[in-house]
Amino acid sequence: MSFFIRGKTGGKPPSKPDKKSQKNFVKSDKKPPGKRKFEEDEEIESDDEILGNDQDFPAGGSSDDEVETPQEKRLRLAKKYLEEIEEEEKRRADETNSIANVDKRLTNEYLDSVGKLRRFVANTYLGFQEDGIRMLKHKSQKSPMTCLCLSKDGKWAFSGSKSTVIVKWDTQNWKPVGVINLLDGVNQEAKKKIKVHAVCLTMTSDGKYLAVADASSVIKIFSPETLKSVGVLRGHRKPVTALAARRDSHEIYSGSEDRTVIVWSLDEMSKIEIMFGHQAGVTDLDALTRDRAISAGGNDCSIRIWKVSEESQLVYNGHSGNIDSVRLINEENFLSSGDDGSLCVWSTMKKKPLGVQQLAHGTCPENGEANWISAIATLTNTDLAASGSCDGCIRVWKFESHFRKFTQIMEIPTLGFINALEFSPDGEHLVAAVGQEHRLGRWFKKPQGKNCIVVIPFRRKS
């Protein structure tokens, strides 16, 4: 770094002024250049003084004293987060109870993050609002609904059917706000040969990525906000049949008819791990916060928990038929269903079910066989679950006796096949994807059913 010193000049010394210039200097009371005495020279600033002078910084700069350390930043963000919680809690309760509410909320958030939160809410449900049920239909989804997913904040919902279109819904008024066409970018000749439809959906908890399986071996990634394609994941050799997103991360799990489960990183759009073990195609997947996934193996009648970081798996057997669906209740318990008509609740510490509800949806009047349970849902970290079949109703269940017993608390009349179920994050609604056919095939048909999304509001104790 070089500095220009005021009062000094470089190069040749100035030439001796002539008399005329001297006269001009005398008249203007200015000393000629080069005639200053040493005492009158300006003081040279040191490097520290120059760097410490605020005027020497460019516009928008700051001094060292204004730089925020990592510790100060964490403290500032923590204070801001607490202030936001306090403001939110003040709107819900009196100011005298706000501190207790903040403490309770922070405790619940911590227990939720480690998978140990337990909320007993089933007793607060009094029934459903029959006059408040909505049946949502979109002109581009006339075929049976196959899948749906809700954002973590509950503001958006996505539905898929046996068509090439996925619809985005605004849950404030349940109006469609956009569509995704799975054949966008495909030429007309290829469209005639390609047969795709939405098989399953999942969304990351921050709402940045939406993953879609379209009955092919690839997974298409979209932006839920713009509905634009952001990538394609290739790694399976047969059609993808199940998807699940790990909470608070950009990792997803996929299962396929090729009997493998793959872990993907959406930040890098690449696979992390391929896991083998199932002896048949994977039919369902679920995941929470931990680095684990749970999968149903369909015809191999097994459920597996994959410990990804430990590169190991746990195997559970209990159903007498195909296992179609599996859902985590919390990090230690999970629920499963299959074509044997039974619901099983499990503990990760035991190889056999803790409780079994046989013929949960009765039997088929035509042949006397158990009604196939085609969809289940759990309200995470609570004692509430729901199941659907083709018997004309959705059943809501309460877990009792430490997940060893089922108690039915309501029946919701719904005609057709229940192909997917989701509780809203606040537990105020149950959303169902309904169709005249099963989501995986056309073995049966219920002509009295409607191909639509059904939104069911609950009545609860205040």
pLDDT of residue 98: 57
pLDDT on residue 115: 62
Amino acid identity at 116: K
Question: Residue 22: what residue type?
Answer: Q
Q: Are 408 and 433 in contact (CB under 8 A)?
A: no
The candidate with the shortest Cα–Cα distance to 198, out of 233, 157, 241, is: 241
Rounded Cα gap, residues 334 and 346, in angstroms: 5
What is the Cα–Cα distance from 163 to 181, expressed in whole angstroms? 9
pLDDT given at position 376: 97
Sheet of 292-296: strand order equals 284-286, 292-296, 303-307, 312-316
pLDDT of residue 458: 96
276 burial type by CB count under 10 A (0-12 exposed, 13-18 middle, 19+ buried): exposed
Q: pLDDT tens track of the chain, all 462 residues? A: 444 444 444 444 444 445 444 444 444 444 444 444 444 444 545 444 444 444 444 444 444 446 788 888 888 888 888 888 877 777 766 544 556 666 776 776 666 666 667 889 999 999 999 999 999 999 999 999 999 999 999 999 999 999 999 999 999 999 999 999 998 877 666 666 678 899 999 999 999 999 999 999 999 999 999 999 999 999 999 999 999 999 999 999 999 999 999 999 999 999 999 999 999 999 999 999 999 999 999 999 999 999 999 999 999 998 888 999 999 999 999 999 998 999 999 999 999 999 999 999 999 888 888 998 999 999 999 999 999 999 999 999 999 988 999 999 999 999 999 999 999 999 999 999 999 998 888 888 888 999 999 999 999 987
Cβ–Cβ under 8 Å, residues 417 and 385: no
User: What global pTM score does this model have?
Assistant: 0.76
Find all residues with CB under 8 Å of 436, minimum gap 6, and list them.
144, 416, 417, 445, 446, 447, 449, 450, 451
Distance CA 367, CA 43 (A): 105
Tell me the two tokens of residue 148: 């749906």
pLDDT of residue 188: 63
